[in-house]
Amino acid sequence: MTEYLDDKDKELLKEIQKDCAQTLWQLAYKVGLTPTPCFKRLKKLKDRGVIIGQFALLDKEKLGLSLNVFIMINISEEQYASISEKIKSMPEVIAFYRISGSFNYLMHTVFTDMNDYY
């Protein structure tokens, strides 16, 4: 179900996507609200499930993970069900997408170098 979002909600979402560590005061100022209505809107967006989490975006190169590898996979739904927990537990996998075409999954992985990949 699509949630109704007014312009202020959309502005708030845009701002927290840029930097979720901003203070309530900073967010309120940027979207033209005072802190209390800003807080209430954020809480409502979280309660409605529009905002489902916050995370840090890491610089992979500074962590020594300079090799991005995209792996295309063609497996059945049954095969996916049997390996999905294994995929979720692999620290090298940072994203896993269902796609259309010759392959049905795309796995985004990161490694330190080619030796780490092999």
Average pLDDT of span 13-36: 96
Average pLDDT of span 27-48: 97
**What's residue 55's pLDDT?**
86
pLDDT digits (tens, 9 = 90+) for 50-78: 999 988 888 999 999 999 999 999 999 89
pLDDT digits (tens, 9 = 90+) for 100-110: 999 999 999 99
Q: Is residue 2 part of a domain?
A: no
Domain range for 93 is 67-117
Q: Is residue 1 part of a domain?
A: no
Q: What's the CA angle centered on 46, arms 43 and 47, to 5 degrees?
A: 85
Average pLDDT value over all residues in the chain: 93
CA gap 95, 65 in Å, rounded:
15
Q: Is residue 52 part of a domain?
A: no
The number of distinct structural domains making up the chain is 2
Cβ atoms of 5 and 49 closer than 8 Å: no
User: For residue 76, what is the domain's CATH number?
Assistant: 3.30.70.920
pTM recorded for the entire structure: 0.66
Q: Is residue 54 part of a domain?
A: no
**What's residue 57's pLDDT?**
85
